[in-house]
Structure 1
Amino acid sequence: MQTITLSQAAVAEFAPETTYLNTSSCGLLPRRAAEAVKALVDENAAGTRGGAGSFDAVDAARAAFARLAGVRPDRVATGGSVAVHVGLVAASLKPGTEVLAPEGEFSSVVSPFALRGDLRMRYVPLDGLADAVGPETGLVAFSAVQSADGRVADLGAIRSAAAAHGARTLLDASQSAGWFPLDAGAYDYTVTGGFKFLLCPRGASFLTMTEESQAALPPLHAGWVSAEDRWNSTYGPVERLASTARAFDEPPAFLAYHGAEHSLGLLAEIGADALYAHATGLADRFRGGLAELGHAPVPGTSAIVAVPGLGVRTAELANAGIMVSDRAGNLRASFHLYNSEADVDRVLDVLGG
């Protein structure tokens, strides 16, 4: 696959001082997002703002994520972590419900279900997930792209199997949203941490839900932020929660959302198709170079490349100024708009000795 040239203006939003191939752990902040966060820090330090931040920024980030996810903003709840979003879904299930998930799925996607103690967990290989859905399955919880090795799930087959058996679906898009197409409305729930490929400060995350699935969620962290009328709900019990997904908003980390608004705006300017072609093209170049060196990366078309058994070399690469990660014994490299062919060649040179 050929890589594409992104606009110089987009690339100029970043100033990495390393060969940064670790977006799967944490994305780099664009200049505009960093400046927005710094501005809010200065206002809070100087006492020139009436509150800790603006709900306008939260709602702008909500709307920007909704456009990226292909849903209306009223189907998006904002929060601070994937685990909290998943916990709401876990709390909605009846005792004895079967939850089906891939083997080796990221902890935040499965732990809220497994630790309840009264749900039936079943784990199967990722490539057999669709075939494993059965009449006893109440929920299928899985990531679009696996954190440990970058494998992409067969989304269409899993959705079809779940629909055929009346099972709900929960999709984690934390390793895919931004570079991989996301149709959030096709799932009962999606959860997305914003600090990876969405390039947001940590503390911004998004939960989407269909109108039907919203009715099943308990208001476990209800407060004035999630009220229909926020500013007239600050004392005493909330009389009426928002009628939309905002009923499940968490109190916002304003610094994160002041940055998220601008990070998501940049991604909208670039477009998912352009980023997909750029990131997967670089990943494909990396896989080819690894094969020439005698390594066998996990196959597939993904912005994330994993090489089994090579995770032990992450410290060596870090000493050379190359940031990757060691996940489940894999050397994991991930590519984004701030990466180039020179980055790929640099890591291959070091790995080749």
Structure 2
Amino acid sequence: METTETFDSLVRAEFHPQTSYLNTASNGLLPARAVAALHEAALMRAEGRPLLPLYEDVEICREQYARLAGVPATRVAAGASVAAHTGVLALSLPPGAEVLTAEEDFTSVLNPFHVRGDLKVRSVPLERIAESVRPGTALVAVSAVQSADGRLADLPAVREAARAHGARTYVDLSQCVGWLPVDASQYDFTATVSFKWLLGPHGAAFLTVPEDFGGLTPLLAGWVAAEAPWDSCYGPVTELAHSARRFDLTHALFTYAGLRGSLELLEEIGASAVHEHAVRLADRFRGGLTALGHEPVPAPGSAIVSVPGLGARQQELSRAGIEVSNRAGNLRAAFHLYNTETDVDRLLNALAG
């Protein structure tokens, strides 16, 4: 775990926001090292230099993310979006299979199951998802942290209920990995995007799968999914990768070039230090809201705070240099490693004024 001095010095060196940026649940800020890597990658393309180092960045990012997620790199696929990964899962299920989801979860976790048309998709309140697993449930699909309001799913309870009934688990980590220590090995499948709490550019997403691939078919596989990609550019792939790389999608090379530095920074600081910092600031904001007579959505232990009825103030706050989100009429603030007590107090003062 980093000392406070090291934490602060790393953050100051990497981030120079021009606003009180409290909107990581939408997009994370890019650290300076990621910006430099993106610039260098663009120059490589512009100048006609060999691009092999960019392909190497993909594999380094895979290893870095595997360490953050607590799984071997052989269980990590590098893709483009959570929706694409969800689609591969949806297509693997037999007709009539039941998928249990949380009401109003993020669309990318839900929609591919619905568009199949021949699956039984059942939605229940988040707090009831574990108790709602039943015989015949094939898959439980849920976000670890709800995008709309920051509520945390009781994932251990979901895992145990799924195991008791022979169901598989699919957890979207997009709103937690990067600030909340996670262990993806406890679930059959997990997915996350690169551009929120992982502080990377848009265009990358990771999928974790079991060692036996969990019955998935790599229907979106191209040449990068082959065991020997550079020997598999023409004709059908004759030998898929022996690892989760068989589920890779064509790599957004610039994205991985930038993401490498972002993941490196998160590893240098440590997930526990980021978690402690982000939740402390979120709790400070919750306390200040209570003093102002506002009641946030209950989400203990979350770095995301959602306040009913204040979403309409988002544009006003943005004009004042405070970036938050308006989600279903709620004001949503998200706290990450580059935020400070000054950011919290500035937002509270604006709401009070």
- TM-score in terms of structure 1 length: 0.97
Match of 1:191 in 2: 191
Tell me if the contact between 2:54 and 2:254 (Cα under 8 Å) persists in the aligned partners: no
Letter in 2 for 1:173: L
- 1:72-121 deviation per Cα after TM superposition (whole angstroms, max 9, x unaligned): 00000001111001100001000000100111100000000011100001
Whether the 8 Å contact between 1:10 and 1:270 is mirrored in structure 2 is no
Contact kept? 2:44, 2:51, Cα under 8 Å: no
Contact preservation (8 Å) 2:71, 2:183: yes
* 2:281 counterpart letter in structure 1: L
Please state how far the C-alpha of 1:301 moved relative to its aligned partner. 1.4
Q: Following the alignment from structure 2 to structure 1, what is the Cα–Cα distance between the partners of residues 189 and 242?
A: 17
Q: What CA distance in whole angstroms lies between the structure 2 residues aligned with 1:64 and 1:129?
A: 31
**Partner SS state of residue 150, structure 2:** coil
Q: Which moved more, 1:154-163 or 1:6-15?
A: 6-15
1:61-210 matched pairs, under 5 angstroms? 61-210=61-210
- RMSD between aligned residues: 1.2
Q: What is the alpha-carbon distance in structure 2 between the residues aligned to residue 220 and residue 343 of structure 1?
A: 45
Which residues in structure 2 correspond to 1:328-343 (within 5 Å)?
A: 328-343=328-343
Q: Which residue pairs with 1:246 in the alignment?
A: 245
SS in 1 for 2:130: helix
The count of aligned residue pairs is: 349
Question: 3-state SS of the aligned residue for 2:116?
Answer: coil
Look up the SS of the partner of 2:207 in the other structure: strand
- The question of whether the paired residues in 2 share the 8 Å contact of 1:23 and 1:335 is answered with yes
Q: Secondary structure at the match of 1:22?
A: coil
Secondary structure of the structure 1 residue equivalent to 2:60: helix
Q: Which amino acid aligns with 2:198?
A: L
Cα distance in 1, alignment partners of residues 166 and 173 from structure 2: 22
Identity of aligned residues (%): 57
Match of 2:269 in 1: 270
Task: Map Cα deviations across residues 152-179 of structure 1 (whole Å, 9 max, x no partner).
Answer: 0111111000000000000000000011
Contact map agreement 1:275 1:336 (CA 8 A) in 2: yes
Structure 2 unaligned blocks of 5 or more: none
| Cα distance between partner residues in 1 of 2:178 and 2:223 | 31
| Distance of 1:282 and 1:319 partners within structure 2 | 23
Which deviates more from structure 2 when the two are superposed, residues 247-256 or residues 214-223?
214-223
Q: CA deviation at 1:235?
A: 1.4
The range that moved more, 41-50 or 278-287, is 41-50
Structure 1 residue identity aligned to 2:8:
S
How much does 1:54 deviate?
2.0
In 2, Cα distance between the equivalents of 1:97 and 1:219? 19
Q: 1:32-58 CA deviation, whole Å, 9 max, x = no partner?
A: 01100110101111212356x622100
Q: Distance in 2 between matches of 1:129 and 1:191?
A: 19
Q: Measure the CA separation in 2 of the matches of 1:311 and 1:305.
A: 12
Compute the TM-score of the two structures, normalised by the length of structure 2: 0.97
Q: 1:100-149: CA deviations, max 9, x gaps?
A: 01111000000000111000011101011100000021100000000000
The 5-angstrom pairing of residues 11-30 of structure 1 reads 11-30=12-31
Contact 2:25-2:304 within 8 A present in 1 as well: yes
Give 1:272 deviation, angstroms. Answer: 0.6
Shift of 1:184: 0.6
Match of 1:326, SS? Answer: strand
Query: In structure 2, what is the Cα distance between the partners aligned to 1:136 and 1:239?
Result: 36
Distance 1:137 1:37 in 2: 44
Give distance in 2, aligned partners of 1:54 and 1:19. Answer: 33
Q: Contact 1:11–1:337 (CA<8 Å) still a contact in 2? A: no
Runs (5+) with no aligned partner, structure 1:
none
Q: Distance in 2 between matches of 1:103 and 1:329?
A: 17
Q: Is the 8 Å Cα contact of residues 83 and 108 (structure 1) preserved in structure 2? A: yes
Letter in 1 for 2:86: V
Separation (CA, whole Å) in 2 of partners of 1:31 and 1:49: 24
Supply the distance in 2 between the matched residues of 1:144 and 1:237 (Cα, whole angstroms): 37
Counterpart-to-counterpart distance in 1, 2:178 and 2:167: 27
Q: Which residue of 2 aligns with 1:220?
A: 219
SS in 1 for 2:121: strand
The one-letter amino acid of 1:259's match is G
Whichever residue aligns with residue 23 of structure 2, its letter is N
Q: Which amino acid aligns with 2:293?
A: G
Q: Distance in 2 between matches of 1:283 and 1:178?
A: 15
Cα separation, 1, equivalents of 2:316 and 2:50? 46
**CA distance in structure 2 between the partners assigned to 1:345 and 1:54 by the alignment:** 41
- CA offset digits 1:258-310 (Å, max 9, x no partner): 01111000000010110000000000000000111110011211000000111
